[in-house]
Amino acid sequence: MKYQSQKIAWWFFATCMLLFTLQLVYGFIMAFAHAGMDGLHAYIPFHVARATHTNLLVMWLLAGFMGAAYYIIPEECERELMWPWLAKLQLGALVATGVTAIIGFHFNWWEGRKFLEIPRPLDFLVVIDVLAFIANIGMTIWKGRRMTTTSMVLFFGLLMAALLYLPGMIPTDNQTVDSYWRWWVVHLWVEGVWELIMGGILAFLLIKLTGVDRELIEKWLYVIVGFTFLSGILGTGHHYYYIGTPRYWLWVGGLFSALEPVAFLGMAIYAIAMAKRGGRHHSNRTALAWSIGCSVMSFVGAGFLGFAHTLPQVNMYTHGTLVTAMHGHMAFWGAYAMLVMAIIAYSLPLLTGRDLQNSAAATFAFWTSNIGMIAMTLAFAVAGITQVVLERRMGLEFLAVQSEIEVHFWGLILAATLFTVGILAYLWVFIRSGLPVGPVDADDSAPATVA
Ligand code: HEM
Ligand code: HEM
Ligand SMILES: [Fe+2]
């Protein structure tokens, strides 16, 4: 860490840890409800738990991206952050808005649109908050001493993510039109502009952790960004198959979304190739594990498991079932949760001056959470495929099928427990690393040990 203002990132990361932990609590509430133990129903009905679980996820990932940007941008631009006070204010406002939304859900104050449940007045606060964030990093880049490809890709990813929040706010009382715009936010985020954020953060981590030349890493970044847009934009059509939109979406969506895994495969090959090429070894092996792990798990979760249900002939049966939840978990985990875990694992020793990344707890956290997530994905897959066969192929009634598949949720609870143990170990390392200190006079890109 070279700049005083990078310290702000720690507060965003601490927010991530808090919201992530709370997200898991709501995951368990739903898993038990699915297993037939819905004792909390009167206070936290399933839809409330679900909206809380997914909105907390989006909120902590956004806090993680912002923290990552506040850490990376000063270093890339070689100057202090433009307005450190604004970053603090903006974090406070983000948390206040998020907490209000979450409490609101529990009192039935919500919009009922999957992933965009936050009530409209709060949407405006989110927009203002994100604009303040964009202005802060934008001005830092503008006034900076250099403009790198990594910082530009990260910046445009964040800017476009902010702009793409707006279509979700277009008022309409038509279900199809509402669904149409909702996917501009949900799909074009995770299968479009968030991939730029992922590419930017991964490029930064690979430059620092592998010692490979910036020119080479950034050249491949362009190729991946190209693939992402080529497939991801028209790939939105895989959500337009049967919602009342024209029939040509069957072809367009099927074809282009089938190409989307290429971008994720490219990202995985890229990260592995750079790690192999880097002859030097950085001391923070755990951060490298999270970075490579992110690229590999996102290919499996988003690329492979996304492809599994993206063709219209398959999606006709799997749409909106637990097959979607299977894919959603591993995709979000691999691509975006692991990305935030990677940048935290990398920056934490530099922010706090205490390096616990080579401890047994840090290694344990990586493996246990990943094995737990793979097991969770399998549990959702078994439940999902059974649901599709019984409900969609054999025509059994929805609730009859739900009670038929209850047993698989005990498997999910077991897997989720393993996952949670891993996350608690990560949290332990985070807490033990302590509070941020002033700039540590260390060259982050220098290898601590030479192979
Ligand atoms: C990191 C990237 C990705 C993430 C985080 C992600 C996450 C999700 C989530 C949460 C949903 C449920 C959304 C909702 O119903 O509101 C979903 C749906 C879907 N995803 Fe992905 N996804 C990613 C990439 C992909 C890719 C690359 C493909 C195709 C190759 C794909 C194919 C699909 C399909 C077809 C659906 C609709 C499922 C249905 O009809 O119920 N996804 N995804
Ligand atoms: C303790 C661990 C967890 C448990 C027990 C859990 C459980 C669940 C359950 C039961 C659902 C509802 C499925 C349904 O609609 O019937 C759900 C939804 C969801 N969870 Fe989790 N979850 C956990 C952790 C996570 C993590 C770490 C992530 C992301 C990295 C995540 C992302 C999601 C997403 C995106 C959905 C919505 C899926 C969809 O649209 O179909 N969950 N979770
Ligand atoms: Fe999509």
pLDDT digits (tens, 9 = 90+) for 323-379: 999 999 999 999 999 999 999 999 999 999 999 999 999 999 999 999 999 999 999
Residue 451 has pLDDT above 60, yes or no: no
Compute the distance from residue 149 Cα to the ligand 2 centre, in Å: 34
Nearest atom of ligand 1 to the alpha carbon of 315: 40
386-401 pLDDT tens trace? 999 999 999 999 999 9
3 state SS for 45-78: CHHHHHHHHHHHHHHHHHHHHHHHHHHHHHHHHC
281 secondary structure, DSSP code: B
Distance between CA atoms of residues 249 and 255, nearest Å: 9
Nearest atom of ligand 2 to the alpha carbon of 31: 10
For the chain, the C-alpha Rg in angstroms (whole number) is 21
Residue 269 has pLDDT above 80, yes or no: yes
Instruction: For ligand 1, atom 10, name the residue with the nearest CA.
Output: 328
Compute the distance from residue 64 Cα to the ligand 2 centre, in Å: 19
Ligand 2: which residues within 6 Å by Cβ?
A: 24, 27-28, 30-31, 34, 50, 53-54, 57, 322, 324-325, 328-329, 332-333, 337, 416, 419-420
DSSP 386-399: HHIIIIIIS---HH
Give the closest residue to 382 by CA, choosing from 320, 323, 306.
323
172 secondary structure, DSSP code: -
Instruction: For ligand 1, atom 15, name the residue with the nearest CA.
Output: 320
Compute the distance from residue 256 Cα to the ligand 1 centre, in Å: 14
Q: Does 186 sit in the ligand 1 pocket, CB within 6 Å?
A: yes
- Which of 180, 189, 255, 310 best tests ligand 1's pocket when mutated (most atoms within 8 Å of CB)? 310
Residue 139, helix vs strand vs coil: helix
Residue 20 has pLDDT above 70, yes or no: yes
The answer to whether the CB of 384 falls within 8 A of the CB of 318 is: yes
Domains, the chain, with CATH or none? 4-432 (1.20.210.10)
Residue 448 has pLDDT above 80, yes or no: no
Compute the distance from residue 400 Cα to the ligand 3 centre, in Å: 29
Q: What's the pLDDT at 301?
A: 98
The answer to whether the CB of 286 falls within 8 A of the CB of 358 is: yes
Q: Which residue has the tokens 């406070």?
A: 92
Average of pLDDT values for 290-298?
A: 98
Distance between CA atoms of residues 90 and 82, nearest Å: 14
